[in-house]
Structure 1
Amino acid sequence: MFILKMFSSTIKPYNLLLATIFFFTLTYAHAQKSSDLFLIQAKKGLFGFTIFSETAKKITSGKYYDNQPTFINKSQLAFTSQDESGNFDIIMYNLSNDKFTNMTRTSDISEFSPDITSCGQYISTVTVEKDSSQRLWLYPINFGEPELLYDDIKPVGYYGWHGETAALFLLGTPNRLVYPYSREDIFEVAQNPGRCIKRRPGTDEIVYLDKGSNIVSDGKEVFELKAFDIKNRQSATIGTALGNAEDFFWLDKNNLIMARDNSIYLKNISKGTDWEEIATLNIPGYKNISRITLSPDNKNLVIAMEPSK
């Protein structure tokens, strides 16, 4: 991977491209709905995946945006949180002691979409910089100096790791998914991808939603799930996503979960089965599950929901 340390000034004369980038930056930073995170006990066994809905515990209580959760280990969760001034930082939540810690505390830049790197030493984020650039940054878990990854690739909206390489969702017309094999070899995987980009466990595949080939079924918009093989550089359809849903999470190589409204669904890709509803979260004052993540030991599920009022 190619890294440029510290912040650098890349402001150029304003032109149409910069105006386009600035528009998308504003959309990313200010179009977020108020949301909160809930922790739910779960169990993955030989006979399936069980979610214990009655154990749902609210772990954030802000008036703004607490979302984009990801486990960095079995007892710590990272997420994006908005403060009263409208700035976004990365917060760490410890499940064992119910404590919160700021991973970042920046007043002039905002960080989104945290994830843990394969080495376990950094939290990666999409960072909106002082000049409105959106690039991928690495924040050491020991709170050292942040490092810029892929300094010449922007504007990044979302991303997904495959080992030490991040597949990048680039904002534009159209949006594009690219895989940087090297600085000189930035391979375009797809146009009009969905925002969720996940490695399929035990494979060399990056999976994403193909928003260029939607259909309508039972009044719901349905997209194909595409798997990009990083070795042969080919994408193949592996099934269809849940209708009117965006984010997914792999339980293992063949099973993944998605959410719609207040319910969570499971699908087995290898068997080609339909989506099966496995849990419903009836939480007073909340609706619409969006992001979803599972701890590495499969015991804790975290979801994001928005207030119903």
Structure 2
Amino acid sequence: MTLLKKIITIGLLWGVTGALNAMPASQLWLAEEHAGTLSVKPISAADGYHNQPLVVDNGVYFTQQVQSPEGAQTDLFFYDFTTQEARNLTNTPVSEYSPTLYPYDDGLSAVVVEADGSQKLWFYPFSEAHSPRRLFEHIAPVGYHAWGEDEQLVMFILGAPHTLQFTDLKGHLPKVVASDIGRTLAYNPARAIYSFTYTTQGQQWFASFNAKTQLVTQHFALPNSVQYYTWFDSNTLAYAIDGRIYTRQLDNPNKVQLWRNLSAYCAGNISRLSKQGRRLVFVCDRA
């Protein structure tokens, strides 16, 4: 699959160059389970920004910082499990983040920092015969997003505080679901819930939103240091503290289990996680 590599003619982004130059180094690692054992190897360079992984059957979509004559920016990349190589999918003069499979066409949805500094949600088709397009004209600034069913989704909207907003592709106005939310949004199709974290009265909670009932449910308290998680299956989620990955189950939320100690591979902190099948990709924030 090759994502459209035509340059999007919406100008160069000058305002965030300094911030991008200061982005911390982060490295992608692949952990694979084989007959009860775990093999672990890096799949990106150790220097520079390699982050926001999304594991699929044949590889990993992620965000990588690149250098251009005008300065630093981020593009969307794809690491192929077969070739064991990564390639730039977008190669545009603007910055893209948060690659997510778009469920209603063949391509990715991503957050784009446009020329005027606004952050909006775009669709990037895999076919070079089609051009990228903005999905929402007036919803901004978008940080992250997660697709559900029936053309619905939730978005992290930056603000003071950051809010979780629920909307769809049918033209309905977005609805604020929760405030002071964390950076990880996901959809659990087996339970038909969107998952997120939010903080209230100084305590962070793992919570869910049901689009049919429009209700938010608190499931369990999380350490305030945890910003990222991933679903292992419909009942089990995982998050990292330092170099250790822990699991919790919705049906038994008070039981915390150590899944793996991966501190031997990551001298800094493990942050973002993405798992599919026997493969887990984790981000090591370099110390």
Measured against the shorter chain, the TM-score band is: 0.7 to 0.9
What SS class does the counterpart of residue 258 from structure 1 fall into? strand
Report how far residue 284 of structure 1 moved: 5.5
Aligned to 2:3: none
What SS class does the counterpart of residue 254 from structure 2 fall into? coil
What SS class does the counterpart of residue 198 from structure 2 fall into? strand
Which one-letter code corresponds to 2:148 in the other structure? Answer: H
Report how far residue 83 of structure 1 moved: 1.3
Q: 2:261 aligns with which of 239, 258, 280?
A: 280
Unaligned runs of 5+ in 1: 1-5, 10-21, 45-49, 216-222
What are the Cα deviations for residues 36-72 of structure 1, in whole angstroms up to 9, with x where unaligned? 100111379xxxxx671xx11111115210000002x
Please list, as runs of the form range in 1=range in 2, the aligned pairs for 1:224-263 lying within 5 A after superposition: 224-263=205-244
Identity among equivalent pairs (%): 25
State whether structure 2 residue 21 is matched by structure 1 residue 77: no
What are the Cα deviations for residues 77-107 of structure 1, in whole angstroms up to 9, with x where unaligned? 1000001331100001101111222111012
What SS class does the counterpart of residue 139 from structure 1 fall into? strand
Aligned to 1:302: 281
Contact 1:70 1:293 in 2 (8 A): yes
- CA–CA separation in structure 2 for the residues paired with 1:206 and 1:283: 33
Please list, as runs of the form range in 1=range in 2, the aligned pairs for 1:75-114 lying within 5 A after superposition: 75-84=58-67, 85-107=71-93, 109-114=94-99
- CA–CA separation in structure 1 for the residues paired with 2:180 and 2:34: 35
Count how many residue pairs are aligned between Structure 1 and Structure 2.
272
Which one-letter code corresponds to 2:161 in the other structure? Answer: P
Report how far residue 185 of structure 1 moved: 2.6
- CA–CA separation in structure 2 for the residues paired with 1:69 and 1:76: 10
Report how far residue 214 of structure 1 moved: 3.3
What are the Cα deviations for residues 192-242 of structure 1, in whole angstroms up to 9, with x where unaligned? 111101112312211110123433xxxxxxx11111110111101122234
Q: Mean Cα displacement is larger for which, 109-118 or 276-285? A: 276-285
Contact 2:101 2:107 in 1 (8 A): yes
Aligned to 2:106: 121
Report how far residue 282 of structure 1 moved: 3.1
CA gap of 1:145–1:257, structure 2 versus 1, over 3 A, is: same
Aligned to 1:172: 159
Which one-letter code corresponds to 2:147 in the other structure? Answer: W
CA gap of 1:148–1:69, structure 2 versus 1, over 3 A, is: same
CA gap of 1:69–1:51, structure 2 versus 1, over 3 A, is: farther
Contact 2:181 2:196 in 1 (8 A): yes
Aligned to 1:138: 123
